[in-house]
Structure 1
């Protein structure tokens, strides 16, 4: 085995972890792949003998690459969240379990509701929060990535943490309970039962829909309003297939073999507190849904 092959083998050993970091930083599966490719190029051009802790070095590099990508997005105006709702790429797996690499990416589950909140953070805040709170990277290692002192990096993460805690509710961890609540929601929608829908929704439930650039979605708040919208789209409940969306109970609506929507639910205290809906045809076509094939 030559040196490059040995280096590639060591990189592959860390791929799952690096994918998880990049996905949480970017909320995009394709961009996460691009970030990993750039990280590999940087490694292949470096002197591996000068790296004492390869895992830490790679985490720092992929973090810096993702930070640059987030800043580039902002400079191009791609993060104008006031214009339309953006739901990050979902990871769809079968209820019985998924691909081992996807399971690594979903360790310490990061639901779409959390990713939506992360999208609202400034790039440096997002990096500090993701690396420290989700991957336990020390502030003195985060500081040089964001060109700040460790104390300033700590402040960035603290600000981000307050935003996340205020906007992304902690979900129930029991998958059986999640499935039961989602099934009750679907049954009520299929049956046109408004009262039953309201009963499974938190009074302050928030539903966010991303239909893409050509048919922007929006945000609906409150149990009555969300229930009314669910009844309006009850036909999609008839073709909904159970799935895990970022590790939690959700559904994918499929018509004639084509995905029409992906719904991710956040459930707390046996009620639905957020629904994140991806209905962008272009992005839905790019999803790998072979795990749901019957």
Structure 2
């Protein structure tokens, strides 16, 4: 009796640890606001906790559908249509272009205006259903039958919604560098999940043995740049960002995979990754402590 009573909690805790980064990331991509994304994730896992063991056949698919439906409801609300996403361009623009240290401010990345627009504004041009179809299928590689189940529309209609969304993005001169290869996204998700959990073994598995990186801080800080080299040293540095108050989501900067870090819903760090095969070979971080 007592074992059965504790089983749901164990199941929920395991799913929370394994899937929360994915759920928050998906909600962030759909809504563009970290606070709303975290609120949606909280509701998703509240609903998951109410399910019974064995009730869900494919938990990741269930989480995807529920998250997307909640985001769709949010996007359709008048309040959501008036809101604009938090703009992390300023912090991203401080990520160093090369790993040399110290880094001259003149060498810092400045995002092209089209990239900024594509990352933070273009999705606002899409109708809620178009945004759901495009992000689920083109970004998260969700099959159209699942997209159809999420939107409650036929598969053919969902294909048309995604096609229409792509056309709108293209007409707005979307930068080619925004869409990342699927393998880059997979590596980025593994890195993000390991960081979030403080999982050193997981980090070592996704980092190249000779990985190197540099963390830069705002001008005037006591420390302006910290270089590191080797998987163990880099992994130890990354694991320091594991904390209950820190939320991580994936991103793209100049066509390169990146991770945004929020503390109490305020952006404070950006990691831009260089990936070779299935390993990260370089991490360029900008941190505003």
TM-score (norm 2): 0.51
Partner of 1:11: 16
The CA distance in 2 between the partners of 1:4 and 1:112, in whole Å, is: 43
The CA distance in 1 between the partners of 2:86 and 2:151, in whole Å, is: 24
Of stretches 26-35 and 42-51 in structure 1, the one that deviates more from structure 2 is: 42-51
Pairs aligned (count)? 175
What are structure 1's unaligned runs of at least 5 residues?
Answer: 97-109, 174-237, 243-264, 269-284
Secondary structure of 1:14's aligned partner: helix
Partner of 1:90: 88
- After TM superposition, the structure 1 = structure 2 runs for residues 123-272 of structure 1, keeping only pairs within 5 Å, are 123-167=128-172, 168-171=174-177
Shift of 1:117: 0.5
Secondary structure of 1:47's aligned partner: coil
Shift of 1:38: 0.7
Change (3 A) 1:132 1:146: same
* Aligned mate of 1:28, from 21, 30, 33: 33
The CA distance in 2 between the partners of 1:5 and 1:49, in whole Å, is: 14
- After TM superposition, the structure 1 = structure 2 runs for residues 27-106 of structure 1, keeping only pairs within 5 Å, are 27-72=32-77, 75-76=78-79, 78-79=80-81, 86=84, 88-90=86-88, 92=91, 95=96
The CA distance in 2 between the partners of 1:89 and 1:47, in whole Å, is: 40
Secondary structure of 1:287's aligned partner: strand
Change (3 A) 1:112 1:14: farther
Deviations 1:235-294 (A, max 9, x none): xxx98x99xxxxxxxxxxxxxxxxxxxxxx9769xxxxxxxxxxxxxxxx9433596258
Does structure 2 conserve the Cα–Cα contact (< 8 Å) formed by 1:25 and 1:127?
A: yes
Does structure 1 conserve the Cα–Cα contact (< 8 Å) formed by 2:23 and 2:64?
A: yes
Change (3 A) 1:80 1:38: closer
Does structure 1 conserve the Cα–Cα contact (< 8 Å) formed by 2:87 and 2:120?
A: no
The CA distance in 2 between the partners of 1:38 and 1:67, in whole Å, is: 14
